[in-house]
Every structure is written in structure tokens, then in C-alpha cells.
Amino acid sequence: MEKEILVTRSSMPDLEEYVEEIRGLWDSHWLTNMGEKHNALERGLKEYLQIPNISLFSNGHMALELVIQAMGFPEGGEVITTPFTFASTTHAIVRNGLKPVFCDISEDTYTMDASKIEELITDKTCAIIPVHVYGNVCDVEKIEEIAHKNHLKVIYDAAHAFGISYKGRGIGNYGDAAMFSFHATKVYNTIEGGAVCFRDEQLGKRLNQLKNFGIEDEEHVSGVGANAKMNEFQAAMGLCNLRHIDVEISKRKNVYERYMKNLNTIPGITLPHEQCDVKPNFAYFPVVIDDEYGYSRDYIHQSLAKKGIHARKYFYPLTSTYECYATDNSATNTPIALRISKQVLTLPIYADLQLEDVDRICNIIRDSVEQ
């Protein structure tokens, strides 16, 4: 049997580089609580992402959950979001005592369809949480216009969008805040980890308290917080990976372009669309398979799996159809998201994926339709 290919593989520095990065921890014994590595990574990320402020977290979910909490929305408030996302987005809203209101997505980018937001706004709406899906950028200008008109906060789930810029600005500059995930499966990782980018320095102070149990100082705890601090070993991995991120993205681009070349003539397969004014990060390679192809998405998924190639039905199912949410929501209210969720397949993509392996994957997809 040929070698297995996973949908992604974590980028890691040379072992020697990481060992050298963490060596000083054996002298300092400072392993967490905003140490030297943590602070150095914050500085490095602010520069790389072209953002004014950043707060690091143990993972992206806690970053999102706590920035929602930090905004101080009223209990029972409504948040307009997308069902075409990972579970974390919806869970973070609900765990803050808020109600997700699901907006349909765009056919081209799979991000929230901004033209459908205003019809969902009620007197209970307090925020919009769009998602930059697969590294595709939301309609940030239209969303900002709607939010300003209706006095709403905007928090972007930018888990897929590390290193992306739009019109020359780092994507973390848009909205009132933006959350990045540094999970091991992402373009850039700190093993686990995440961050919130923000403009309002008062929000930053609130975030730093919430991720440290709500502690204000040695004698005062001003609110109910969590323990969501990034530790020094995570930060050290982040410092190493940040040195190599441009090379990693360049390698991913080569894989992405090989897929595009191999698959662009196959009927019934919709390939990713290039976005105007966007500097991409090549985070994912989603294909949407329709009836013209002759086989279903699930058939291709199974055909690849039989050959040891593990693509992913991502995002499927919609979060609005989860057992914990389905009672209060109907997926038929977001018909485009529902259809795409049943047709989309993300193919393996990572920096070290060999081009001959990309060819092998594409040949299986091509052979199926030819047969």
C-alpha cells in the first residue's frame, strides 16, 4: 500500500532550533505567566501581522470565547454568525449566554453573505461574528458599514487567516477584534494557541485579566475569568515557526498551484476563487463537487481514503444542525451553506506535501470521472 497522506501536517522547525529556543527555560524556570518567550512572540506577531495590539492565549477557542465575554454583551443577546464554520465559533457564542443567528454564505468565498445580514438584525442583536473561511476574506467593508449603521460590534473569527492582508492591511485590523488560531493544523502554529487582535487598549486590559482568572492585581479579582494563558513552550515554538512562515506559505503556494493546474479542466468540480486585493496564505484547498462530475463528494472521499489519502468534509455538518442546536434552528434557512456543506471536500495541503503526491491525488479524482 502506498504511503498515507493526511489532510494536513504540522509545520515544525528543526529539533535543534527548538531546543536552543527553550534552553534558557532551564535557567529561568519561568514556564508560564507571560514570560520572556511570550512577550517576545507578542512583539514579533504585532510586526508580522501589521496590527497595533495583540493578546496571546492557550488556544484559539478560549481567545474567541473570552473576547466575546470582554465585550460585555447582555445575557440573551443575539449574534449574527455563520453555520459554515468549526464548532468553536458557535460554542463560544452560546457559552457566553448569547444566541447565534445564522446567516447564509456566499457561493464564491463561503464566507458570510453580507447582503443578508441586515434582514437578521433585531432589537436584541449585539454583534456580528463572521468567519474568514479557508483563508477567504469576508466582505469587511460592507460588514463594517452595516455594523456602524446599526451600532453593532464585529469580532472576526480569523482562525484560517494568519498572514493574510487585504488592500495592504493585515486582516487582523478589521472589526473591533479578530481571533487567530495557532493550532497545530494551521498555517502557523504554537502547538496549541491563539490570539486576539484589537484596537481598544481597554479591551486589551480586560482580555489580560480574563485569561488570568479575572485577576486585576495581587489583592483584587474584578471578574470571573479563566486560565487561558499561553505558556513558554508554546511561545518558543511560535518564535521558531515565525522565522520560517514566509517560506512555509511559499511551499503551500506551490502545492496549491499544482492542484489548480491538475484539476481545472475536470467538469463538475469548482476550484477556489482568487480574491481581488487579497494576499493569500494558501491555508486550505477546498473543492466543491456537483452533479456534473458524476459522483458525489462522499464517493470521492471514500475513493481517496481507500488509497490512504485522508481528505476532509470540512465544514460538514453545519453547526446549526448539531444535536445541541438543531431544535432551535433550521438548516433550510441557510440553503447555500447547506448545499455547499454536502458538496465540499478539502484536499490535503501542507508545506512539505510532495508535488508527486498532489499528482497522485488528482489522478484518483480524474480517473473516477473518466471511468
**Measured CA distances, 14 to 40, 241, 244, 249, 283 (Å):** 20, 10, 11, 17, 22
Low-confidence residues of the chain, pLDDT below 70? 1, 370-371
pTM of the shown model: 0.97
pLDDT for position 3: 85
Domain range list for the chain: 15-239, 244-370
Between the alpha carbon of residue 275 and those of residues 104, 164, 278, 344, the distances in Å are 19, 11, 6, 19
φ, ψ of residue 176 in degrees (nearest 5): -75, -25
What pLDDT, on the 0 to 100 scale, is given for residue 311?
Answer: 98
* 33 CB neighbour count, 10 Å cutoff: 10
Rounded Cα distance between 222 and 228, Å, is 17
Rg (CA), the chain: 21
Three-class HEC string of the chain: CCCCECCCCCCCCCHHHHHHHHCCHHHHCCCCCCCHHHHHHHHHHHHHHCCCCEEEECCHHHHHHHHHHHHCCCCCCEEEECCCCCHHHHHHHHCCCCEEEECCECCCCCCECHHHCHHHCCCCEEEEECECHHHCCCCHHHHHHHHHHHCCEEEEECCCCCCCEECCEEHHHCCCEEEEECCCCCCCCCCCCEEEEECCHHHHHHHHHHCECCEEECCEECCCCCECCCCHHHHHHHHHHHHHHHHHHHHHHHHHHHHHHHHCCCCCEECCCCCCCEECCCCCEEEEECHHHCCCHHHHHHHHHHCCECCECCCCCCHHHCCCCHHHCCHHHCHHHHHHHHHEEEECCCCCCCHHHHHHHHHHHHHHHHC
Cα(52)–Cα(170) distance, integer angstroms? 10
Task: Decide if 252 contacts 349 (C-beta within 8 A).
Answer: yes
> What pLDDT does 170 receive?
98
Per-residue pLDDT, 2: 74
The domain 15-239 is placed in CATH, from the list 3.40.50.800, 3.30.365.10, 3.20.20.80, 3.40.640.10, at 3.40.640.10
Nearest to 10 by CA among 234, 157, 183: 183
Cα 134–chain centre separation: 7
d(CA 257, CA 174): 28
Q: What percent of the chain has pLDDT over 90?
A: 96
Taking Cα atoms as reference points, which of 189, 236, 227, 243 lies closest to residue 28?
236
Please count the other Cβ atoms lying within 10 Å of the Cβ belonging to residue 288: 19
CATH number of 244-370: 3.90.1150.10
Q: What's the confidence (pLDDT) of residue 1? A: 57
Locus of grid cell 508527486: 356
Sign of CA dihedral 167, 172, 176, 178: positive
